[in-house]
Amino acid sequence: MPPAAIRQVRWPKWSDMLQSLSQSDAMKLLIVKLGGSVITDKRKPFAIKHTVVKRLAKELKGVPGPLVIVHGGGSFGHPLALKYRIADGYREKDQLMGVSLTHLAMEKLNKYLIEALQKEGIPAIAFQPSACVLSSDGRIKSMELGPLRRILALGLVPVLYGDVVFDVKKGFSILSGDQLVSYLARKLGATRVVFGVDVDGVYTSCPKRNDRAELLRVITPSDVKLVASMEKDETGDVTGGMQAKVRELLELAKFGVEAEIVNAARANVLKEALRGKRGLGTIVTGGK
């Protein structure tokens, strides 16, 4: 028998919670991507930016309404995925150890993040993409979303990540956190997504390598040529860096979901963006 205090609590009926999520809260669902460049040091293998993660966990506290967190691989996932050529799909048996190692590296980073969130009182829970996604040539073909919907209805905060996923054409592939955010935003009906990276937004070219790179305040589908002209960065990402991120977000914009890419390496920027402030970085929108 549970203690009297617990017995007296009148829990809302489960069906009511699910109903309320589908009717109103889903409208306010927010998805945040914590870039690998923010939470890890991409120059060193398996290097977490401990102070940054702690600060971001504080900034994520108190976000109103349901929240989905997705994080990138940074120096955990990318070097292993590159070494074993996971994104190319199955070619030889030796890659299988690479699949195992890449996934484990991502789980370790995920676990660290979840513990940091828990310390701030956020009821975070790991959600493993490779266990519920099937991809086809690197794009999500299907994803079992039932558990995720229920997690959100309960008020838990799911934490997903870029992962090795199993692929109907290639055997396995890499699913980027960016693609995952875009997919989830559409399927779960988010109206806005916020991407935290380690630069002030999207520039005309990589700001770390080009002093004359200019910050773009808004990107719309009419900027497709500009995006194509952005060179690929050399951060060792297997998922295509900033250019691929913007392409993903332009696709999402077609469905009416607005995205903003902000500098989460600066204190309180992510916090303000998550509380609704616009124009802190680069907005990617379907608008003219």
Q: Compare residues 29 and 38 and give the one whose CB is closer to ligand ADP.
A: 38
3-state DSSP assignment of residue 79: helix
Q: Cβ atoms within 10 A of the Cβ of 267, count?
A: 13
Task: Based on the shown chain and the rule CB under 6 A, indicate whether residue 72 belongs to the binding site for ligand ADP.
Answer: yes
Task: Based on the shown chain and the rule CB under 6 A, indicate whether residue 202 belongs to the binding site for ligand ADP.
Answer: yes
Q: Compare residues 26 and 199 and give the one whose CB is closer to ligand ADP.
A: 199
Place of tokens 């799909």: 89
Q: Which of residues 34-53 bind ligand ADP (CB under 6 A)?
A: 35-38
Distance from C-alpha of 142 to C-alpha of 169, rounded to nearest angstrom: 13
Place of tokens 């903003």: 260
Residues 6+ apart with CB under 8 A from 129: 143, 160, 161, 162, 163, 165, 175, 180
Q: How far is the CB of 202 from ligand ADP (least distance, A)?
A: 5
Closest of 110, 240, 93, 232 to residue 163, by C-alpha: 110
Q: How far is the CB of 73 from ligand ADP (least distance, A)?
A: 7
Q: How far is the CB of 60 from ligand ADP (least distance, A)?
A: 16
Q: Compare residues 157 and 230 and give the one whose CB is closer to ligand ADP.
A: 230
Task: Based on the shown chain and the rule CB under 6 A, indicate whether residue 230 belongs to the binding site for ligand ADP.
Answer: yes
The footprint of ligand ADP (CB under 6 A) covers 35-38, 72, 74, 197-199, 202-203, 205-208, 230, 233, 235, 237, 241-242, 245
